[in-house]
Amino acid sequence: MANGKLIIISAPSGCGKSTIIGEIIKNADLKLEFSISATTRAPRRGEIDGVNYYFMSTSDFEDAIRNDELVEYEEVYAGYYYGTLKKEISRIQEAGKNVILDIDVKGGVNVKKKYGPDALSIFIKPPTIDTLRHRLLSRGTDSIEAINQRVDKAAYELTFADKFDRIVVNDILKDAISEVENIITDFIKD
Ligand code: ADP
Ligand code: 5GP
């Protein structure tokens, strides 16, 4: 097969990106491999370097920026960089797989611009902002301050939805998963 395609999944934090990606990646027909991002934030409990993220110091990340090693990067939260390494995309494509990216909404728009028809961008929306807050609270991975920061930011990020190829509302999880799988199946078939 030619170079694998890119599937971008973006959404405000807590909308269900990781949950949805965790499920669709099990579908072997989609030939997906997760693009592990680089970040300068600290690992959460249970996160492993080289599995969830490539955890980097700020100075190493800034070296990577200077050396043009990133497809895109954003300071997603004040003081914390997140970015997609060029060598990560080529590693996956060279293995004959399609690349799935879990990146913030600005990064999603930038990657789509760079890759054009070779990329499909999907925006995951929560049914309401209130539902989003409840999901972040029950996920239990972030402090109340971090949750408030994420929910405030979500209202702004939702305004990016119409810049994406497709929008999927994550209300009933299994329906959202099927919808995303169908959209990807259709995209990778040609
Ligand atoms: P993201 O990766 O976008 O930050 P997560 O996948 O971590 O979001 O989801 C946030 C929380 O919401 C998790 O605890 C997850 O189990 C839960 N969740 C995801 N989708 C749904 C859904 N459709 N209904 C109820 N809870 C959900
Ligand atoms: P978290 O800290 O919850 O893992 O991720 C916070 C946000 O950073 C999420 O919205 C996630 O999609 C985004 N993110 C993760 N990796 C990247 C990346 O490589 N580039 C960009 N622009 N955003 C990323």
CATH number, residue 167: 3.40.50.300
Residue 178 DSSP one-character state: H
CA distance 158 to 145: 20
- Assess if residue 134 is contained within a domain: yes
- Assess if residue 129 is contained within a domain: yes
C-beta of 137 in contact with ligand 1 (< 6 A): no
Q: What percentage of the chain exceeds 70 in pLDDT?
A: 99
∠ Cα 162 164 165 (to 5°):
115
Q: Specify the number of domains making up the chain.
A: 1
- Assess if residue 16 is contained within a domain: yes
C-beta of 139 in contact with ligand 1 (< 6 A): yes
- Assess if residue 151 is contained within a domain: yes
- Assess if residue 1 is contained within a domain: no
- Assess if residue 24 is contained within a domain: yes
Give residue 35's Cα distance to chain centre: 9
C-beta of 39 in contact with ligand 1 (< 6 A): no
Residues with CB under 6 A from ligand 2: 13, 37, 41, 72, 74, 76, 82-84, 102-104, 107
**Ligand 2 center–CA 29 separation, angstroms:** 26
Q: What would the two tokens of residue 17 be?
A: 């990106």
CA 106 to ligand 2: nearest atom = 22
- Assess if residue 70 is contained within a domain: yes
Give me the domain span that covers residue 26. 6-189
H or E, element range at 83: strand 80-85
Question: pLDDT tens-digit profile of 17-40?
Answer: 999 999 999 999 999 999 999 999
Lowest-pLDDT range of 1-5, 17-21, 97-101, 110-114: 1-5
- Assess if residue 36 is contained within a domain: yes
Question: pLDDT tens-digit profile of 53-92?
Answer: 999 999 999 999 999 999 999 999 889 999 999 999 999 9
Residues 36 and 43: beta-carbon distance below 8 Å: no
Beta bridge pairs of residue 74: 82
Judge if pTM exceeds 0.75: yes
